[in-house]
Chain A
């Protein structure tokens, strides 16, 4: 984003909008067009709705004539927030729109008592990584060939609340992963330690 040509002035006034279902017809086509252009992973319309229906209150858009958006839901059982599908139309980059959207999402999740916020970003997307890391995210692990295009990803974590100490000493996995798996949500089950394959 930093390297994109900066528009000296934004074309038109910018409005930040919280998503709601009634806006689908008006905005979803543009959102889909923007995201399929900027992010490598192909998403079906139901992936959008997965986020937009269940977590509309956590989804934000910035709009003038173009738009950008972020759709971060969090799972209430684990209090782990998740940010997905953040994109800013290239002509509008360099104005802190993405940062503003991410901040709105984090604030909303913090208000709803999230313990942490996680996301994945493509290893080649240095601009996105810088954005998140400037806000306080840390890379917690690297995920080998995570995307369909063969690129690896980093998982980024932002801790909003310190965990209760001391942690129980005999948990088999790190507690967060275990909790997420139990809730049937996150993608960390793959992290379970390897068991020698059975023959």
Chain B
């Protein structure tokens, strides 16, 4: 890769002389020299480097007798089992730039494939060690493969260093060589290897042959995109069995190799991953790769969002290659999943979430008379799509990031959606004139106009706000005495979402009733309305579960804090209000729902008017309600829950929530019983609280405390 490094200056320019200043420099009485001015100018130049100043940029010096040049001779003779050993070691590496063979092969970056060898000159070519050609072909395939992976990763959003290092420090991984040429080399090598069958034990020959077969560089048939992943997984099983035949050659790898790279970074340590661990990683990656292809089975955008968010939430998360590949499948060339326009996805989503048949009718686009309201509809809807598309597609992309970034990026995303909601509300009011929509009066009074577009944006914004809080639990952001408050806030957000869902439902039902009576009623329309109503139901059920469960846990943690079973540190440098400000910073600028004031938040969380017994009773009911809700959800099918294509994973997720609710119920009961017999004095309860370690609970988003008897001490 050309990183735009300046070319090295010529060492022997006739116009330049080098004067020896060693002695003069050394004789300067440094101790007395005031360096502050010099230093300050340097530090000023350093500060924009931000984080990189923490990295070492002292040039490492070699120990006495140590040489920077690798003494290893890449022309040495290798036994076939050593070739296999090196190949398997390469498989286990985090960076292949520690291999002397890779270094040797890349010596001349622009050489044609035919002259890329481990040997320095043509003289030694003739007496080339017998099995070296196998390693050469493997390295060529591996490097070209690594180049492809790098390109896939770099095409999408990922974080360099944090997720992956695509930087090859001016090393070209055979990017100038056609894939077909590399494949031809691999095939020819396999044929040559067969010729040597008398010199290599059969099982070893097979092991080498299969390793030359492991580069799915061929253009895959789009109908069988899963095949390479399935094949690789099978091959890997053979590799595992055959690994015992390999004889390692540790001296063929050295961190020193990296000192030749154009970089101020210190050499990366060689991470010694065992072959078994490597196998596990690859096996999981091939499985993930295969599973990721299911994303192409598009049914509806809600199922798609479920697919992406649940697939990427697995712990451990899919590797960056899978995450960037998923992004490629989703968005490559601005065509969703290789088939669908962004408009189609967006309109599908609106039709599910806030169905307004007349707004979404594609026939509106054909009306050219500017005064026709249908023309107006088409124009306004296009304005909406232009405004909303990026925010909407970013949601899918965000979930393909590492979990820390998902949370941090959502914090920025909700600001965008907050603006989006305000902007599209203007479009809503223009449309409501075009459609001559009347405001709606229900038993609750006048609830205004339907505002479908801003309703849509608001629903997504609320969901993202919940995700931010839930990811906080997952990433272990909150201290134990923050849990009550954060579950209260989650309950507040979910409740708002449930109420908002109810408002949407009211308008969809009004339209549904009116449409049924109209002359243009059709089966398609009926299907669309049914689907929309089903979506709102399941959304409200999901929101209600979160609302209840979070409410229950809030009450439980509040009780635990009152009983001092969850302790509050003294925090001499802070106060509750300051910490509330930091904690709620992502939400403070959001217009709707407005962040509760610190006093309201404190009162709602601590519930000072409510007794411990009442709080526990309340928690019991809420958690019980959530448990029933999850049960109901788990009985619904993939169509009803908009989890087509990912229902298994979706169900596992719901079951995890359900299990968490069951165990929260057990904790509440245990506490109720203890209080019944021992009273509300913490010391008498002889209980202590255990919180699950991060990632070790029944569900990462629900931190359920365990109450265990306190051992007498």
The answer to whether A138 touches B583, judged by C-beta atoms less than 8 angstroms apart, is: yes
What chain A residues lie within 8 Å of B569 (beta carbons)?
133-134, 136
The answer to whether B589 touches A184, judged by C-beta atoms less than 8 angstroms apart, is: no
Cβ contacts A to B, 16 pairs, < 8 Å: A46-B53, A46-B57, A49-B39, A136-B571, A136-B572, A140-B477, A140-B582, A140-B585, A141-B408, A144-B404, A145-B163, A146-B162, A184-B47, A189-B50, A196-B157, A197-B155
Q: How far is the CA of A46 from the CA of B409 in the complex (A)?
A: 33
> Could you mark each residue 394-413 of chain B with 1 if its beta carbon is under 8 Å from any beta carbon of chain A, else 0?
10011001111101110111
Residues of A that sit less than 8 Å from B by CB: 21, 41-47, 49-50, 53-54, 103, 106, 116, 133-146, 148, 152, 154, 157-160, 162-163, 167, 169-174, 184-187, 189-194, 196-197, 199
What chain A residues lie within 8 Å of B27 (beta carbons)?
none
Question: B333 on the interface (CB 8 Å rule)?
Answer: yes
- A-facing residues in B2-59 (Cβ within 8 Å): 36, 39-40, 42-43, 46-48, 50-51, 53-58
Nearest A residue (CB) for B475: A142
Nearest B residue (CB) for A156: B582
A184 vs chain B, min Cβ distance (A): 5
Nearest B residue (CB) for A140: B582
Q: How far is the CA of A43 from the CA of B266 in the complex (A)?
A: 11
- A-facing residues in B78-127 (Cβ within 8 Å): none
Q: A135-B573, A135-B574, A194-B398 are in contact. Are A199 and B579 (CB under 8 A)?
A: no
Since A46-B46, A136-B569 are in contact, a sample of 15 more A-B pairs with Cβ atoms closer than 8 Å, ordered by chain A residue number, is A47-B53, A53-B40, A134-B571, A135-B571, A136-B574, A136-B575, A137-B574, A140-B477, A141-B408, A143-B404, A162-B577, A187-B50, A187-B51, A194-B398, A197-B156
> Could you mark each residue 570-607 of chain B with 1 if its beta carbon is under 8 Å from any beta carbon of chain A, else 0?
11111101110111011011010000000000000000
The answer to whether B404 touches A136, judged by C-beta atoms less than 8 angstroms apart, is: no
The answer to whether B43 touches A139, judged by C-beta atoms less than 8 angstroms apart, is: no
B315 vs chain A, min Cβ distance (A): 14
What chain B residues lie within 8 Å of A143 (beta carbons)?
162, 404
Nearest B residue (CB) for A157: B582
The answer to whether A44 touches B581, judged by C-beta atoms less than 8 angstroms apart, is: no
A62 vs chain B, min Cβ distance (A): 19
Q: How far is the CA of A87 from the CA of B586 in the complex (A)?
A: 32
Name B394's contact: one of A134, A142, A186, A194 (CB within 8 Å). A194
Name A192's contact: one of B412, B419, B476, B583 (CB within 8 Å). B412
Name A196's contact: one of B58, B394, B402 (CB within 8 Å). B394
What chain A residues lie within 8 Å of B398 (beta carbons)?
194
What chain A residues lie within 8 Å of B249 (beta carbons)?
none
Nearest A residue (CB) for B56: A42
A119 vs chain B, min Cβ distance (A): 12
- A-facing residues in B585-632 (Cβ within 8 Å): 585-586, 588-589, 591
Question: B393 on the interface (CB 8 Å rule)?
Answer: yes
A118 vs chain B, min Cβ distance (A): 10
The answer to whether B50 touches A185, judged by C-beta atoms less than 8 angstroms apart, is: yes
Question: B479 on the interface (CB 8 Å rule)?
Answer: yes
The answer to whether B266 touches A199, judged by C-beta atoms less than 8 angstroms apart, is: no
Q: How far is the CA of A134 from the CA of B162 in the complex (A)?
A: 29
Q: How far is the CA of A45 from the CA of B35 in the complex (A)?
A: 15
The answer to whether B413 touches A193, judged by C-beta atoms less than 8 angstroms apart, is: yes
Question: B161 on the interface (CB 8 Å rule)?
Answer: yes
Question: B416 on the interface (CB 8 Å rule)?
Answer: yes
Of B163, B403, B412, B582, the most chain A CB neighbours within 10 A belong to B582
- A-facing residues in B317-361 (Cβ within 8 Å): 331, 333
Q: How far is the CA of A50 from the CA of B411 in the complex (A)?
A: 32
What chain A residues lie within 8 Å of B133 (beta carbons)?
none
Question: B199 on the interface (CB 8 Å rule)?
Answer: no
Nearest A residue (CB) for B406: A144
Q: How many residues of B contact A (CB 8 A)?
A: 70
What chain A residues lie within 8 Å of B156 (beta carbons)?
197
Q: A158-B574, A194-B397, A196-B390 are in contact. Are A138 and B582 (CB under 8 A)?
A: yes
Q: A174-B585, A196-B331 are in contact. Are A141 and B477 (CB under 8 A)?
A: yes
B504 vs chain A, min Cβ distance (A): 25
Q: How far is the CA of A42 from the CA of B40 in the complex (A)?
A: 22
Name A144's contact: one of B56, B163, B393, B478 (CB within 8 Å). B163
Nearest B residue (CB) for A189: B50
Question: B279 on the interface (CB 8 Å rule)?
Answer: no
What chain A residues lie within 8 Å of B581 (beta carbons)?
159, 162-163
The answer to whether A53 touches B36, judged by C-beta atoms less than 8 angstroms apart, is: yes
Q: Which are the 8 A-B pairs with shortest beta-carbon distances? A: A136-B574, A193-B412, A136-B571, A144-B404, A42-B56, A159-B578, A136-B573, A44-B58
Question: B415 on the interface (CB 8 Å rule)?
Answer: yes
Q: A138-B579, A140-B582 are in contact. Are A41 and B163 (CB under 8 A)?
A: no
The answer to whether A193 touches B50, judged by C-beta atoms less than 8 angstroms apart, is: no
What chain A residues lie within 8 Å of B663 (beta carbons)?
none
B33 vs chain A, min Cβ distance (A): 13
What chain A residues lie within 8 Å of B48 (beta carbons)?
184
What chain B residues lie within 8 Å of A196 (beta carbons)?
157, 331, 390, 393-394, 397
Q: How far is the CA of A47 from the CA of B412 in the complex (A)?
A: 32
Nearest A residue (CB) for B577: A162
What chain B residues lie within 8 Å of A139 (beta carbons)?
476-479
Question: B159 on the interface (CB 8 Å rule)?
Answer: yes
The answer to whether A194 touches B409, judged by C-beta atoms less than 8 angstroms apart, is: yes
Q: How far is the CA of A140 from the CA of B581 in the complex (A)?
A: 11
Name A141's contact: one of B46, B333, B404, B419 (CB within 8 Å). B404
The answer to whether A44 touches B56, judged by C-beta atoms less than 8 angstroms apart, is: yes
Q: How far is the CA of A46 from the CA of B44 in the complex (A)?
A: 12
Name A145's contact: one of B53, B57, B162, B409 (CB within 8 Å). B162
The answer to whether B161 touches A145, judged by C-beta atoms less than 8 angstroms apart, is: yes
Of A41, A42, A159, A184, the most chain B CB neighbours within 10 A belong to A159
A163 vs chain B, min Cβ distance (A): 7
A174 vs chain B, min Cβ distance (A): 6
What chain B residues lie within 8 Å of A194 (beta carbons)?
157, 394, 397-398, 401, 409
The answer to whether B582 touches A167, judged by C-beta atoms less than 8 angstroms apart, is: no
B166 vs chain A, min Cβ distance (A): 13
Q: How far is the CA of A139 from the CA of B407 in the complex (A)?
A: 13
Q: How far is the CA of A46 from the CA of B35 in the complex (A)?
A: 13
Q: A172-B415, A196-B394 are in contact. Are A152 and B56 (CB under 8 A)?
A: no
